[in-house]
């Protein structure tokens, strides 16, 4: 799945020892494997080969411009949820016809920007948003394509914070109100009612939830056809999970078969918004050990990366594998909790992991951090965010500089 491997007890990113990169750029440090990313992009495209699906990478998963340029060059569009992401897509040369604009709280400024960029589709989150888009479109004398984000109201086996299709979710139009919303949109005349959109959640490892949701959209599309509303696009969102710790995600081909076979009953064209499945396992977060200690019988390794650098473990209880950058053959393993330096009890990177003890100055690698790693980082405790480095074979490049404290204050 990736190109991070041990050679002579030393962890490498492709052909470069992680220690060499970390010694040059400091820690904490995000390190990406270009060849892993290219491999994942190729695998996803091959799964949908021949379908003419528009695949829009979810910019929220990773916002590094160099990474997004590689994804763009592979033929992927952009799934954007903010004005900043729209401008990033424009900056790297994504045509408007390959951009979808999502989000449950689009501002007027963001909507006007998207209208001027002539994005492929607005995924409308509420009737009030529909009126705002219609009014601004009239002002700019354009007629944008819209689809409603419809909430199919199903439960999925994932963390509650990333399950977005539950009844009462902040996202989308409830299924029972969608038909009325579509009729209203058609009556306005200022928007082109072109599609239907769903995004049921993230880190979903089975295909059944996608089937169930698409079956509900099929029923809705039938009602719309009878009312004279023809849907040209079905946007199935993203959400396919990856392996962090023992998960068995559905194979890409199986996922693609489910999406394509169920979507064609709804509309002739498919849009996808993958994020995590493309980028998660392309990166590691290298961290340096500050101290080790025992408290109440619990053994800790304190590292220099914290919840401000990688929020997922604290926010979701997410599991990320932790490995030594160098393995010491004669050093015994014990159960350790890897903690960060942030002034919060929840600043825990990994709980009770069977690891070799690691001493100050030694390094650990946190795996699977390419998605929602740097993009969710912050300056909490006035801590500068880390650098990002891209490895390509024997070469490596800094693709984002480490922030400086003087710039923050």
- Domain residue limits, the chain: 4-32+280-408, 63-274
Nearest by Cα to 188 from 108, 131, 150: 131
Res. 323 pLDDT band, cuts 50 70 90? very high
pLDDT digits (tens, 9 = 90+) for 31-89: 999 999 999 999 999 999 999 999 999 999 999 999 999 999 999 999 999 999 999 99
pLDDT at 157: 56
Locate 128 and state its tokens. Answer: 């009030």
Its pTM stands at: 0.95
CATH classification number, 4-32+280-408, choose in 2.40.30.10, 3.30.930.10, 2.40.37.10, 3.30.470.20:
2.40.37.10
Question: What's the chain's length in residues?
Answer: 409
Please indicate whether the domains covering 4-32+280-408 and 63-274 agree at the CATH topology level.
no
pLDDT at 64: 98
Res. 272 pLDDT band, cuts 50 70 90? very high
CATH number of 63-274: 3.20.20.10
Distance between terminal CA atoms of the chain? 41
Between 246 and 289, residue with greater pLDDT: 289
Segment 94-99 shows an average pLDDT of: 98
Segment 203-219 shows an average pLDDT of: 94
Question: 390 pLDDT exceeds 60?
Answer: yes
pLDDT at 164: 55
**Whole-number Cα distances in Å, 344 to 179, 329, 382:** 47, 34, 14
Q: Which DSSP category does 5 fall into? A: E
* 343 labelled catalytic: yes
Task: Kindly calculate the radius of gyration of the chain based on its CA atoms and give it in whole angstroms.
Answer: 23
Pairwise CA distance, residues 409 & 391, whole Å: 32
Burial class (CB in 10 A: 0-12, 13-18, 19+), 336: buried
The single residue of 56, 80, 305, 343 carrying the catalytic annotation is 343
Locate 102 and state its tokens. Answer: 């999502």
Q: Which residues face 146 on adjacent strands? A: 122, 193
Pairwise CA distance, residues 318 & 302, whole Å: 18
**Whole-number Cα distances in Å, 102 to 38, 126, 171, 250:** 26, 12, 10, 26
């Amino acid at each position: 799945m990736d190109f991070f491997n041990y050679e002579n007890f030393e962890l490498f990113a492709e052909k470069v020892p992680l220690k060499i990169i970390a010694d040059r750029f400091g820690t904490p440090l995000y390190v990406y494997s270009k060849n892993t990313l290219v491999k994942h992009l190729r695998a996803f495209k091959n799964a949908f080969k021949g379908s003419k699906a528009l695949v829009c990478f979810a910019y929220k998963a990773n916002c590094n411009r160099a990474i997004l340029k590689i994804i763009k060059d592979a033929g992927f569009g952009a799934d954007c949820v903010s004005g900043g992401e729209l401008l990033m897509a424009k900056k790297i040369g994504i045509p408007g016809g390959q951009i979808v604009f999502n989000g449950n709280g689009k501002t007027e400024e963001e909507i006007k920007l998207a209208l001027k960029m002539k994005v492929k589709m607005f995924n409308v989150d509420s009737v009030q948003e529909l009126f705002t888009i219609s009014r601004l479109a009239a002002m700019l004398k354009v007629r944008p394509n819209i689809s409603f984000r419809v909430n199919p109201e199903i439960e999925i086996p994932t963390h509650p914070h990333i399950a977005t299709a539950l009844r009462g979710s902040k996202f989308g139009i409830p299924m029972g109100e969608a038909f009325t919303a579509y009729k209203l949109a058609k009556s306005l005349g200022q928007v082109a009612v072109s599609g239907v959109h769903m995004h049921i959640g993230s880190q979903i490892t089975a295909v059944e939830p996608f089937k169930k949701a698409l079956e509900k959209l099929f029923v809705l599309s039938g009602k719309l056809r009878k009312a004279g509303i023809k849907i040209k696009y079905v946007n199935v969102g993203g959400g396919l999970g990856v392996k962090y710790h023992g998960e068995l995600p559905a194979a890409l081909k199986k996922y693609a078969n489910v999406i394509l076979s169920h979507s064609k009953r709804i509309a002739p064209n498919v849009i996808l918004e993958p994020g995590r499945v493309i980028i998660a396992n392309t990166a590691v977060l290298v961290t340096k050990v500050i101290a080790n200690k025992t408290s109440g019988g619990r053994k800790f390794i304190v590292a220099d990366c914290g919840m401000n650098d990688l929020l997922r473990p604290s926010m979701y209880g997410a599991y990320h594998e932790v490995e030594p950058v160098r393995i010491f053959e004669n050093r015994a393993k014990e159960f350790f909790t890897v903690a960060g330096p942030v002034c919060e009890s929840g600043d825990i990177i990994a709980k009770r992991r069977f690891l070799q003890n690691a001493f100050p100055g030694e390094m650990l690698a946190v795996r699977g951090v390419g998605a929602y790693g740097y993009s969710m980082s912050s300056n909490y405790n006035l801590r500068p965010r880390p650098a990002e480095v891209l490895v390509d074979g024997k070469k490596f490049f800094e693709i984002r500089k480490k922030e400086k404290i003087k710039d923050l204050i």
